[in-house]
A and B are shown apart, each in its own frame.
Chain A
Amino acid sequence: MAINLKVNGVPRSVTAEPDTPLLYVLRNDFELNGAKYGCGLSQCGACTVLIDGQAVRSCVTPISALEKSEIMTIEGLGSIDKPHVLQQAFIEEQAAQCGYCTNGMIMSAKELLDRNPRPSEPDVRAALASNLCRCGTHNRIIRAVLRAAQANGRT
């Protein structure tokens, strides 16, 4: 059946079973690469998107629950040519090894900065605590989020 969704401000429609996890629709139907499959169990955070401003695991969120929601993916933040302050900070800090978890880190950080524009380092650690990185890039990621917060403060 056709389900209507609003992604990055744009109305989209998809024909899929209502229980289809949002992750597969974003990736395969809307061709948005940002959200990643990591575990399919809401455990790792690689698939994080914002739904009405809340960081949500798209791998376990059925599309049928989202017809009235605003969905934001990392593609909605900015682009290579016009990166969002968080994306720019991740580039400046080179805050990735493999980069597979990066989407989730940035989207969780986006939720944090939206509600707390000047977080402390412990705030950042707490906000990202359930996003897993296996490469060991944690310190750079935390620096990138703090850098983005500082850049926010200047503008």
Chain B
Amino acid sequence: MNAPVLTRRHFTGGLGALVVAFSLDPNAALAQERLPGSLQNNRKLDGWIRIDPDGTATIFTGKVELGQGILTALAQIAAEEMDLPLARVRMISGDTRQTPNEGQTAGSQSVENSGTALRMACAEARAILIDLAAQRFGVPADQMRVADGVVSTPDGRKIGYGELKPDLNREATAKATPKPPASHKIVGKSIARFDIPAKVTGGLAFVQDMRPVGMLHGRVIRPPRYGSKLDSADDTAAKAIPGVVAVVRDGSFLGVIAEREEQAIKAREALRKSAKWTLGPELPDPARIFEVIKSLPSKDATIGVKQGAMPSNARTFEAVYTKPYMSHGSIGPSCSVAEFKDGRMTVWTHSQGVFPLRTELVKVLKMPAAAIRCVHVEGSGCYGHNGADDVAADAALLARAMPGRPVRLQWMRDDEFGWEPYGPAMVMQAKAALGGDGKIADWQYEVWSNSHSTRPESTDGTNVLAGWYLAEPQKMGPPTSPPQPAGGGDRNAIPLYDFPNQRVVHHFVQDMPIRVSALRTLGAYANVFALESFMDELAAAAGADPIAFRLAHLKDPRARAVIEAVAKKAGWKGGEKGDGTRGRGIGFAKYKNLACYVAVVAEVEIRHGRPPCSPRGRAPRPRTGSPARDSRPSARAGRTRAVTPMRSLPASDPSPRPGFPLAGARLPCGGTRAR
């Protein structure tokens, strides 16, 4: 292990850690000089760094570990700029009492924002340490050398960071120059992640593993469907189960607390049987879901318009692609531990944003923010907005009923599949005209989608589930769509290909028949799937090789380079054809249309009579390429799907199950795309 990251001390809330006030009103920051990354809204150096007397550095970040390795990456950045070995950097992350507020850990922006802030803040802290040592020894600062947290003079006098006791309670200036990449010793190296050893040995690794003294176990009883009202809940049977200590009801929110976990689960079943509900509105017919989405009111925006000459001899093509609702499908259902003690609420949570979560808890619990502390502890992978925030609110509501006793609440599998926000279903309709020269002369594209972000910290109402079901309910926050160029449902809807005529329409559908929010890349992968599939259709119609066809429509040199690189790596032969069960294909995108370029070649084999994603089916062999000039980390293929989850209209879903989607998520596989 490189550094201790998750320890008991971390779990019990930083015992012995100095608490420093550093936050600044973001509005006040507007009048100040713009600082890089998350320094802009968290401007005090000691908000990011503390030098402990033993010479170690404690680094505070508002970004949290989701299994992406961010705490290891940020520790590398800090250690590099501080000239400290990694083992002497300690990370504290996502704690409303201790760390900067960096909003959500989402959108692949943690290195960009937190890493930038830490790089600049640590470079400045190092410069301050050097100045202090220079003053002490009476030697010019530019003659001092630093290694492993020790500053030394040319004649060999040395002093450690801990002895220098720097005062970092000051505004960052971002004037210190960080190290040039060429001199990096830790950044740029593949460092083993800090969190993995505990995860492979049964260590304390997840919020699910917390076990504070006196802990009770909670469970919640959710309605049969959205928007239902609880008329009555006879708790006689539940309370007769040994170990049950409380049944908690607030309006239509219903939960139970027991001494033992299996007792809480049995009591949940008993309450589920006795609860009487007035049912909310019926869900739309899953067989017609895409028609329903297209028929709902939408805010429409036309983007990416180009107008040029149209050839007279063009042939036109049309295709519709669809993406079903998709569960995040976290392997571990969401979990939280909450404790209400002396009028204060502490919530241990795997939320992606502890500060936004606290904002919602203020509304749900009707408690002041100062009395609520949210502390991040890892959970199962989330891939976006799953039940993490909701279960934290549930746990807090239960804990409030049992002051002084921590309550651990892990959702059951059906809670997660039934109630987490899904990745939205989408419809993508593409039309194109192919000129006599074999090139695309016109591209018309429309996408229908719900919001891809209903995360906490809503501007109105609340975005945690329990809030909507209380005796004094909050309304759901308004759906939002991030603007272009990053976009939401329209993310990556504007092609990077050069077409003389082009029109892209984003139908932002406001009503949400199914609760939805952020799932990996928002609308991008449905749009890229549609765009790239339609490119293949058009290449086939033009009798062209799919790679050559793409290159013929691309001027962007980096886009061309990544496609050429992947073709070379894969040994792509122009005009190669599959044999009916086996073949290869290419996909290309630029992440969010503003970050790294990615291309992938996938080899796919379909065995008759067996689902292509069966564990026994043969795996595709993906190859990725990134152009040599690309200075970003090599674009990882991520998961290459042999068969994508998209379906084309008219969709012929073979077996829409009753109760969809509450009966559980169907992991997407086996969809076919045909016009």
Contacts and interface: CB of A to CB of B under 8 A. Distances in A.
A22 to B, nearest CB: 11
B202 A74 contact: yes
Contact of A28 (B261, B333, B413, B616): B261
B195 A99 contact: yes
Interface stretch (B78-86, B103-111, B377-385): B377-385
Interface in B584-619: 615-616
B333 A91 contact: no
B410 interface: yes
B201 A83 contact: yes
A33 B262 contact: no
Given A97-B67, A98-B67, A134 B413 contact: no
A33 B333 CA distance: 15
A80 B198 contact: yes
B204 interface: yes
Contact of A130 (B1, B333, B412, B615): B615
Interface string A20-44: 1100100110011110111111001
B199 A102 contact: yes
Given A98-B378, A129-B616, A73 B202 contact: yes
Contacts of B17: none
Nearest to A136: B639
A2 interface: no
Q: Classify the interface of chain A: helix, strand, loop or mixed.
A: loop
B616 A34 contact: no
Contacts of A37: 208, 332-333, 410
B290 interface: no
B587 to A, nearest CB: 16
B652 interface: no
Nearest to A92: B192
- A interface residue count range (under 10 / 10 to 19 / 20 to 34 / 35 or more): 35 or more
A130 B195 CA distance: 25
B158 interface: no
B67 A78 contact: no
Contacts of A106: 200
B262 A94 contact: no
B193 interface: yes
B201 A38 contact: no
A80 B201 contact: yes
Interface in B192-250: 192-193, 195-206, 208-209, 211, 217
A48 interface: no
A96 B204 contact: no
B67 A96 contact: yes
Contacts of A41: 413
Contacts of A5: none
Q: Classify the interface of chain B: helix, strand, loop or mixed.
A: loop
Contact of A24 (B198, B262, B328): B262
B399 to A, nearest CB: 18
B264 to A, nearest CB: 10
B200 A46 contact: no
A17 B615 contact: no
Nearest to A75: B202
A39 B198 CA distance: 22
Interface string A69-106: 00001110111100100010011001011111111001
A3 interface: no
Contacts of A66: none
Contact of A132 (B1, B328, B331): B331
A41 B198 CA distance: 26
Nearest to A20: B262
Nearest to A104: B331
A38 B196 contact: no
Contact of B205 (A33, A94, A126): A33
B330 interface: yes
B524 interface: no
Interface in B174-196: 192-193, 195-196
Contact of B209 (A33, A83, A87, A136): A33
B329 interface: yes
B68 interface: yes
A16 interface: yes
B401 to A, nearest CB: 21
B260 interface: yes
A106 B199 CA distance: 11
A33 B203 contact: yes
A135 interface: yes
B654 interface: no
A80 B196 contact: no
B201 A98 contact: no
Nearest to A138: B619
Contacts of A17: 262
B66 interface: yes
Which residue, of B205, B208, B217, has the highest number of chain A Cβ atoms within 10 A?
A: B205
Contact of A33 (B193, B196, B204): B204
B609 to A, nearest CB: 17
A112 interface: no
B332 A80 contact: no
Interface of A: 16-17, 20-21, 24, 27-28, 31-34, 36-41, 44, 46, 73-75, 77-80, 83, 87, 90-91, 94, 96-103, 106, 125-126, 128-130, 132-136
Given A36-B206, A75-B202, A101-B331, 9 more contacts: A46-B332, A74-B200, A77-B201, A78-B201, A79-B201, A83-B197, A132-B331, A134-B381, A136-B639
8 contacts: A28-B217, A33-B209, A78-B201, A91-B200, A96-B67, A96-B193, A99-B199, A129-B615
Listed from nearest, the 7 A-B pairs whose CB atoms lie closest are A98-B67, A34-B202, A129-B615, A99-B199, A98-B381, A100-B380, A136-B639
